[in-house]
Amino acid sequence: MLNTRLLSLIRKEFIQISRDPRTLVLVIVIPVMQLFLLGYAATHDVRNVPLAVFNQDRGPEARALLDAYRAADYFRLAFDAGSEAELRRLIGEGRARVGLIIPPDYGTQLQRGAAQVAFILDGSDPTVASTALAAAQLIGQAHGTQILAERLAARGVALSLTPPVEVRTQVWYNPDLEAAHFMVPGVIGMILYALTSLLTATAIVRERERGTIEQLIVTPIRPWELIVGKMLPYVSLALFNTVEVLAIGAWWFGVPVRGDLWLILGISVIFLMTSLGIGLFASTVAHTQQEAMLTVWMTLLPSIFLSGFFFPLEAMPQVLQWLSYAMPLRYYLSIIRSLLLKGVGFAEIQGDVLALTVFGLVIMTAAVVRFRKRLD
């Protein structure tokens, strides 16, 4: 299969890649950059939310409440507001995300029985707000329970305040709920998809732009050799990137690689049929390298949003969930997350693998047929 024609084409492609600084940056730097950006920045973990307090009581009870808030690392007591207006301004300016108003009679009310405090949330970022809301309620409840226990103890009633039903949570696969563990497999999928389709499309269109494709067609090279020779270098680059991102993910972000590495690479190759097919197809539609890039981007954006790369599919409206089944990236992400984090075997993922294979074959066949027509 590896004849002189094919080898020449592959060697030429590698020489061109090694001499094009743009491609080198795209291949070596961008994946690492993406990994670090997404591993750190795209985290949904909410910590250290700045809190502004308007404490009108200043008694020991109020201080105890504030200590309770301080103890949990969800909030950072950032501002001690002198008035409600000041607190309002701090939240309005975005310097504080949440506010706590303790009324002047908090201590007396509490001694009489029950007291109220006001908790204000900036809801403009729902992720932060919902976490902060849950945390604030939890802290309030815990603090209330503690006061109750102290009161009963003061009356000589030793009461165990364990609730009759306890829900013990166990988080599997990603016990610390680290966002990076979710993102690294996603970045691998993104890189395989975006990089290979972009590079193949532009590499072929460049030959068409320069007229070298015409020169190639009049040589005895066969269409399949032309396609394979053009793609193999990018397949190997993509697999290099997969290993690169996996290694950084494992060493730097501590992402577990629980599944079989060869299975991961094998399935990545199946997924590459899809992205190479899209690249090949784009090259038959586009006349310039810019057009090729735009065409690929048009397929890329829905893939990113509808594959569960950023947003959980379960949270999407039903219609979008159905649409997501048309995104090959969806299956790949689901497989690669299972393989890395859960360490499952082939049996658990075979449905997704089958879907991925069908997509790959269909897209690749369509692209090859179209590509051959353009050669005539």
User: Applying CB under 8 A, which residues contact other proteins?
Assistant: 3-5, 7-9, 11-12, 15-16, 19-20, 210-212, 214-221, 376
* Residue of 296, 280, 268, 297 lying closest to 356 (CA atoms): 268
Q: Give 126 or 211: the residue with its C-beta nearer to other proteins.
A: 211
CB of 366 to other proteins, least distance (A): 22
Beta pairing, strands 118-121 & 98-102:
antiparallel
Please state the φ and ψ torsions of residue 106, each to the nearest 5 degrees.
-55, -50
Q: Give 145 or 219: the residue with its C-beta nearer to other proteins.
A: 219
CB of 130 to other proteins, least distance (A): 53
CB of 127 to other proteins, least distance (A): 47
CB of 325 to other proteins, least distance (A): 40
Cα distance from N-terminal residue to C-terminal residue, the chain: 24
> Assign residue 176 a region: left if phi > 0, alpha if psi is -120 to 50, beta otherwise?
alpha
Q: Give 221 or 362: the residue with its C-beta nearer to other proteins.
A: 221
* CA–CA–CA angle 375, 193, 239 (5° rounding): 95
Q: Give 28 or 216: the residue with its C-beta nearer to other proteins.
A: 216
Strand-pair partners of 98: 51, 121
Q: Give 212 or 290: the residue with its C-beta nearer to other proteins.
A: 212
* Residue of 200, 356, 201 lying closest to 264 (CA atoms): 356
CB of 256 to other proteins, least distance (A): 42
Identify the residue whose tokens are 């990076």.
180
CB 96, CB 51: distance < 8 Å: yes
Q: How far is CA 62 from the centre of its chain?
A: 41
In three-state secondary structure terms, 286 is coil
CB of 195 to other proteins, least distance (A): 20
Q: Give 22 or 155: the residue with its C-beta nearer to other proteins.
A: 22
